[in-house]
Every structure is written in structure tokens, then in C-alpha cells.
Structure 1
Amino acid sequence: MKNIFKIGLFATVASTLFASCLKDTPVTDYSESAIKPVVLIPNGNYPSTNQAAIIAFEAADTPSTLNITVRVSWSKPLGKPLTVTIAKNSALITSHNTQFGTNYQELSATAWSLSSYSVTIDADKNEATFPLKIATSKVDLSKENMLAFTITDASGETISSNFKNILLPIGVKNRFDGVWDLTKKQVGWAAYGIADNQTFHWGEYELITAGVNSVTTFNGFSNLLAAFTSSGGLTQFGATAPRFTFDATNKLVAVQNDIPDDGRGRVLVMNPAVTDSRFDPAAKKIYLSYIMKQNGRPNQFMYDTLVYISPR
């Protein structure tokens, strides 16, 4: 995924992401005497009849750039420079949540920056951009994050009544994030009705970004550790939610249980006897070997093979 997104493709992006009643029609073909200039955000999306689509960034250690475009809707450049000012508008997020029943929270100030809230559209141009920086490594992945901005000044020109606002739901995905097909072998717990030295096919299994190089899971029912009974039936291990962490070379370097101990002492660790647990980007496969430990029981060994299906 590219790190630079341009929020300004009016004909395609605005119609795809958001639907809105057109009050101030952007003009491209009429003479300047037909209608007054209007300053707008080409894909402004508030108020909207649809929920805003998430803008998903690749998780990275360096900031990504999201360009917010402002435009003067006119048949040709105005022939004079035009300064446009925007402001963060938290109230739009609250209104959006009320309208659609969502739970977006304003993106933390540590995760984004804007060098200036004003930009000049040159005399011979129709648009300019605000480069919004998103620090994906600082985005709180436990929240639904959003930013909202409004045009507040356009050097005396008319500001569009319904294309002056933009909502930006911010999402982050790393290279492991997606829907995968899981096949699993387990060894060690035959005495407890769990498949032992047998390989079964689970099906769709989601890996969810939890950091630049880590993922949590969703097995189709919950975030609990997927497993099979001795007859091949689907089951889950309670109080056990795996988190897998890889290094920059795609090698698995850590496995942990995200759920606090409920008294059974269930922990997840890497299998030291297997040194090639990894993500193979060329084959789009992940190989995981790890161990679940529990008080009073032998180790339960897990051998997972995941084949990429699609984005999540």
C-alpha cells in the first residue's frame, strides 16, 4: 500500500466513499459569469447519508502522508492567490457517532500532525493540499480513530455549505493483517479429548494488526485460541488469546497470551525446537509453531499453517 493518499479525486472518491446532497455544485465547464466561485473540499463528506469509509494505512515506523485537498470551483483559475484555512472540528465526530451509532474517538494528538492550517491556492491553480502526517506506530489500535476538519476561511470567497467538512476515519494494517485459511496440527492433549498428532482444516481465520509487526486473531467466533477435538470438531481454549510478533525479516520472535491468568496458568510461548516459524511473503503463507502451557498438564504443542485469502 502506498504511504501517500490524495484526498481530492472528486469524480471517483467522492462518489465512492460518500453520498451527499449537492447544494453548491462544483463548476468546471461554465463561464465565470454564470455562477460565483465556491471554495470546497472536493470529497467533503459531512453531513452524509453513508458511514465514512476507513482510510487504511500500512503500519510503519515512519509517518505516512494523507493529503487533504481544497479547491476553488470555477471554470478557470481566479488569477489571484487564495488562502484557505481549515480547523479541526471534533463536534463532527460526535455528530457522526450519533447519526450512525458508531464509536469513533478523535485520533490522539501524538499520532498526527499538520504543519499549517492555512494553504494558498496559487493564482494559476484551482487547488492546493494540506499534508497531514499520520504516525501509524502511535495509533491506538484498540480504538476506532477519526479526525475531522472544516474550512473556516477562504479569503472572502464563498465557502461551500456542504462540502466544507471532511471526516477521516483512520485505520492501520500491517503486512500480516488479513483473512487467512488455517490448517492446524496439535500434539500433547489426547487425554483431554483434544486432537493429538492429527491435522485438521479450520477455514477462515483473521489476523488483526496489533502493532507494526504483531497481530492478534479472530477465529470466526472469538479471539480465543482455535483448536480441534479428537474427532476434528471445532473448539476454543478459554482464557487464551494469542498474539504473534515477527521481526523485520518476517521471522516469528514472540508468542504471548493477551488474557490474564484465570488460575489455570495458561501461557503461550514459542516452540524452541522449531526455528523456522515465519511469514513467507512470496508464497503468502505463515508457519507457526508454539506451545500452550497449563498448570498440572503436559505441554500442548501447536503447528499452524495459514494461507492468505484476502484483505480483512
Structure 2
Amino acid sequence: MKKNFIYKLLTGVVLISGLSGCLKDNSQPDFTKNKPIIELPIGSSSGNEAANSIAASFTVSNTPADYFVWVNYAAPDANSKDVTITLSVDTAAVSQFNKVNGKSYTLLPTVGYTLASNKITIPAGARKVQFPVKINTAALDPTKTYAFPLTIVDGSGFTISANFARLITIISLKNKWDGVYTVTGTMTDAVNPAITGQYPHDMQLRTQGPNTDAIYDPSQNTFGHGILNGGAGSYYGSFSPLFTIDGASNKITAVVNYYGQPATNGRAAVLDASGVNAFTMSSDGSTPVSFKVKYIMTENGSNRTSFEETWTYKSAR
């Protein structure tokens, strides 16, 4: 018994000594000795040899949109003096990004942006600053997705981050009527009575120009108008109403077929002037509340399907 007691006592002493040794371990890195790094921070590195990316959308307007990219001074302590950072528009980065990620984004043309300078100063005592860019949306094609590539080329003597030196902003354009809507209403197909309205149904308006939007049905993954054919979800082939809207009055002034007027299958779209054909907007005029519209799908010159609908705004797309 006495031997067992001594053995247990010695074992406990050894364990306590081991724990004490762990508590005194100084192997953790000392981050206070890290050298400052200049970077364009985002959530995480792409990790695939292409630039990091971030998405941004802009409403099409004649007034250039303000956009900002953060530039970081990453260090344990704030900088003691002003640090001037130089950036460049790295066009080659877009080609590499598209190749690595299987994308086909269009390089943002020079008419699409304005830089006051390619330099930005992080003031003494600060850790980050916003690099300003003006996006000239009126000069761009709303049907395209653009890529705007920035790269840090000079860190004022400080180390430039290996993983966060390049940032590509993926730019999409929208007008103020663009969005997701819940559609209700009635439709009548004079040719095929088995085709009836699919209401209520969530569909989208997708920007095609500063004052034009086409119907996109996400359930069919296409520009088209959802219908029921014998009770099953479907859509009219090569037919998607493309609305023209007056920017001042928010009235729908015309409807044509997105696929051509007429499309190769003879289908076209015509606005029915007896409808309300107008948007109701939020109090500040920036966001739709709903719109009412009447229009007709013609086929080979004859009226085939009439629509009378209310579109209630649900969310941004």
C-alpha cells in the first residue's frame, strides 16, 4: 500500500510539472514584430493564382457613381507617418481571372471610369483609407458584366501583400426598375385554350438599357414569360416583353419582343393603350412599389395572347 501511495504521488508531481512547463511555453509567434504590409483587403484570398474579386452593382445614370476600394496598412501599430500608395489599372489581370475562373467578363473601358489620381495617402495614425473611383455608368452597356482591376504597384517602401495586392471589381448595371417581382393578373391565349396564366409567379425585370427592361423567368432560366400549358409550368418560346419606360413619369411607353420585332417564329409584342401602363414608385422615386401593364403577344401579325398584369416589387435582383 505504501509503495502504491508513493508511486501515485510521484506521478502527480510529474503531471503537474508537465502542465507547468506548458504554461511557460514561449513558442507562440510574437505578432508585435510583424512588418507592415500594404494590401487591398477582402474576405479571403482567391487561392487560385487569379486576383481576388468583389461584386458591385450600379444604377444607370447620367451622374457618375461613387465607388471606393479600401487600401490597408496592416501592422500591429498604426503608421507613424503618411504612407503614399500607388495603384494601377492592371488590364492583364482580367484575362488571367477569366481564364482561371472560366468567366468572360469585359474589361471596364477607360470611358467607364475616372480616377482623380492613381495614388492615395494613408495618413499618419490611420490603418486604412478609401481609394475613390467614379463609375461612368451612362457610357457602359447594361447587358454586359464588367471587370475593373486594381493592383498595388508601390507601397512606399513597405511590403506589398502577396495574396491581397490585386482586386477585381465585378460590375453589373441596373436601372431603377430592375428587380424581382411577384406577378398576378390574367392572360388569354386565343389559339390554345390549354395555355393559361401562371399566377402568382415570381419573375424579374432585367436591365437592357437606361430605360428598357426585359422579362426574365428564373424558373425557366431564360428571358421569357412563364405560363401553364395543361397545368404544367412552361413559357412562350422566343418571346419576352421588353418594356420601354419614361424616366420622368415612370410610364411604360412601348413594349416589343426581346427576341426581335418580330422574332424568327413570328412573335411580337404590342402595348395595349387601355391599360394603366405605369409604375408606382417609392416616396423618394428610387425604388418601384409596383406597376400595372396590359400588352398583347402577336403571332404572324395576328393577336394571339392578351395580358393584364400587376407586378409587385419584391427585392433587388
Q: Same fold (TM over 0.5)?
A: yes
Distance 1:268 1:38 in 2: 58
- After superposition, give the CA deviation of every residue in 1:245-273 in whole Å (9 maximum; x if it has no partner): 22233221221112233466533222122
1:3-48 deviation digits (Å, cap 9, x = unpaired): xxxxxxxxxxxxxxxxxxxxxxxxxx964xx122221123286544
CA contact (8 A) 2:141 2:209 kept: no
The reply to whether residue 295 of structure 1 matches residue 300 of structure 2 is yes
1:290 is displaced (CA, Å) by 1.5
- Report the secondary structure of 2:103's partner residue: coil
Residues 291 and 310 in structure 2, CA contact (< 8 A), matched pair in contact too: yes
Q: Which residue of 2 aligns with 1:169?
A: 170
Question: TM-score normalized by structure 1?
Answer: 0.77
Greater fraction of residues in helix = 2
Distance 2:289 2:176 in 1: 10
Aligned twin of 1:154: 155
Residue 117 of structure 1 deviates from its aligned partner by 0.7
Alpha-carbon distance in structure 2 between the residues aligned to 1:77 and 1:227: 61
User: Where do 4+ consecutive residues of structure 1 move more than 6 Å?
Assistant: none
2:8 corresponds to:
none
| Aligned counterparts of 2:314 and 2:192: Cα–Cα separation in 1 | 30
Amino acid at match of 2:241: P
What residue identity is the alignment partner of 1:204? D
Q: Find the residue that maps to 2:97 and give its secondary structure.
A: helix
In structure 2, distance between residues paired with 1:226 and 1:200 = 6
Q: Secondary structure at the match of 2:99?
A: helix
Q: CA deviation at 1:228?
A: 4.7
Task: Point out the more displaced range, 215-224 or 118-127.
Answer: 118-127
Q: Return the alpha-carbon distance in structure 1 between the equivalents of residues 53 and 193 of structure 2.
A: 44
Q: How far did 1:168 drift?
A: 0.6
Post-superposition shift, 1:106?
0.9
Name structure 1 gaps, 5 residues minimum: 1-28
Change (3 A) 1:120 1:305: same
Report the equivalent of 1:14: none
Aligned-partner SS, 2:302: coil
Which residue in the other structure is 1:257 paired with? 257
Structure 1 segment 62-73 matched on structure 2, within 5 A:
62-73=63-74
Distance, in Å, in 2 between the alignment partners of 1:285 and 1:125 is 46
Distance 1:157 1:172 in 2: 36
Equivalent position amino acid for 1:106 in 2? L
The 1:306–1:210 alpha-carbon spacing in structure 2 relative to 1, beyond 3 Å, is same
Alpha-carbon distance in 2 for matches of 1:151, 1:210: 34
* Per-residue deviation, 1:59: 2.7
Partner of 1:204: 202
Structure 1 stretch displaced more, 296-305 or 215-224: 296-305
Partner of 2:81, secondary structure, is coil
Q: How does 1:264-275 map to 2 (within 5 A)?
A: 265-274=266-275
SS of structure 2 residue aligned to 1:68: strand
Measured after TM superposition, the shift of residue 301 of structure 1 is: 2.5
CA distance in 2, matches of 1:185, 1:233: 17
Unpaired runs of 5+ in structure 2? 1-29, 283-287
Q: 2:106 matched to which residue of 1?
A: 105
Aligned to 1:18: none
Distance 1:226 1:180 in 2: 13
Q: 1:173 to 1:48 in 2, by over 3 A?
A: farther
Deviation (angstroms), 1:53: 4.4
The answer on whether the counterparts of 2:144 and 2:172 sit within 8 Å (CA) in structure 1 is no
Give CA deviations for 1:228-256 in whole Å, capped at 9, x if unaligned.
55x55544333322211222332212211
- Quick one: structure 1 residues 47 and 144, their matched pair in 2 at CA, closer, same or farther if it must change by over 3 Å? same
The number of residue pairs the alignment matches comes to 277
Q: 2:233 and 2:43 mapped to 1: Cα distance?
A: 46
**RMSD over aligned Cα atoms:** 2.9
Partner of 2:36: 37
2:107 corresponds to which letter in structure 1? E
TM-score, structure 2 normalization: 0.76
1:51-81, Cα deviation, whole Å (9 max, x unpaired)? 8442122332211111112122234443322
Q: Aligned residue for 1:13?
A: none
